[in-house]
Amino acid sequence: MQNQAKPFIKKVFCFIFFISSITFAQEKYPVRPINFILAVEAGSDGDVLARPLMDRVSRIIGQPITIINRPGAGSSIGYREIHQAKPDGYTIGWASATIITNKLQGVSPLDYNSFTHMGGYATFFPIIIGSTKSDIKFNTIQEAIAYAKANPNKLNLSTAGVGQSWWVAAQTFLTGTNLNMASIPVTGAGGAVTLMVGGGHAELGVAGLGSAKALLDGGQVKFLASLSENRAPPPYDKLPTVKELGYPVSWESTNIVIGPPGLSKDVVEKLSKAIEQAARDPEFIKFVQERDAAWEYIAPDKVIPKLSSRQGTVKEIMAKAGLLKESN
């Protein structure tokens, strides 16, 4: 009797295992931890904002999200890892303006069209600063523009390294205002620019608000205007954007969440909703503004049109500078 029962028990166990396998396969995403690739260094502006956002997303979807930093080569190393990941929703990541510039510079064959988009949540923007120690000083951006028009090539404009995002912003300013200045790229980004202007070695500079904050507060540099679409948050909201003065000039570096191509509609919908909910959290908005960035939620279907509008500007600037090497 026992020997006859064994095949029956075995069949029952097999059936239970089969049903369990089907049930597990049908469980809704996500059922395990997610990796989030950050193509910048730990502690950088993009890293500082992405971590609290993903912490909130993790709580919403009920799974841990592990932050993995993959900096290097203008963020192209991290972008490549995201692009090559299995499209199951368990590897996603971050992108910024470098997802536009990399392909145009020939650094990578990938750009924003190569990924699945799940929304944007914050924007870093450049500002124009003036030196308070140089021989020529300005109180307003209007004064600086008027002087530059009357004295071509007499002013020095310090910028980030050639091809970097804030360098693009500086060239956008010069092109849009039709000004001739000596553009001085420096090794590094906004911090190095601010030090050059603060020391009086350049009359003007283009830097991020965050990197300029210490010298702004110390009085070594003066905030003249923003190159963003909208005015800077308080206490700088009384200062104009260059665009509102009548010049077709703006540049921003939007932080977005991306995934590999081919993500399923269900996965994208689940993540996008969680990202929007996390981004709209009042505490997160406050955190973004305290880090001298502009809070900005961008729906997934609006990301590509927004980046495409900036891509044309970058392409024109890089072609003019002899840097256009769009990768194939």
Topology adopted by domain 34-124+255-320: D-Maltodextrin-Binding Protein; domain 2 (3.40.190)
Report the range of poorest mean pLDDT among 60-64, 108-112, 309-313: 309-313
Residue 184 has pLDDT above 80, yes or no: yes
CA distance 58 to 282: 17
Ordered by start, the domain boundaries in the chain are 34-124+255-320, 126-245
Mean pLDDT over residues 13-27, rounded?
A: 47
Class of domain 126-245: alpha beta
Residue 147: Cβ within 10 Å count = 15
Task: Please report the DSSP string for 258-327 in residue order.
Answer: EE-TT--HHHHHHHHHHHHHHHT-HHHHHHHHHTT-EEEEE-HHHHHHHHHHHHHHHHHHHHHTT-----
Mean pLDDT over residues 218-243, rounded?
A: 93
Report the pLDDT value the prediction gives residue 5, as an integer from 0 to 100: 53
**Beta partners for 123?**
254, 294
Identical topology for domains 34-124+255-320 and 126-245: yes
Report the pLDDT value the prediction gives residue 4, as an integer from 0 to 100: 55
Give the 3-state secondary structure of 195-238: HHHHCCCCCEEEEEHHHHHHHHHHCCEEEEEECCCCCCCCCCCC
Q: Could you read off the pLDDT of 82-120 as tens digits, one per residue?
A: 999 999 999 999 999 999 989 998 889 999 999 999 999
Q: Could you read off the pLDDT of 64-78 as tens digits, one per residue?
A: 999 999 998 889 999
Alpha-carbon separation of residue 251 from 12, 71, 307, 310 (angstroms): 65, 23, 11, 8
Residue 250, both tokens: 């703006």
| Residue among 52, 98, 91, 48 at smallest CA distance from 75 | 98
Give the pLDDT band (50/70/90) at residue 25. very low
The pTM for the full model equals 0.81
Mean pLDDT over residues 174-200, rounded?
A: 87
Give the pLDDT band (50/70/90) at residue 20. very low
pLDDT, averaged across the chain: 89
Q: Could you read off the pLDDT of 30-55 as tens digits, one per residue?
A: 999 999 999 988 888 889 999 999 99
Mean pLDDT over residues 282-287, rounded?
A: 96
DSSP one-letter code for 191: H
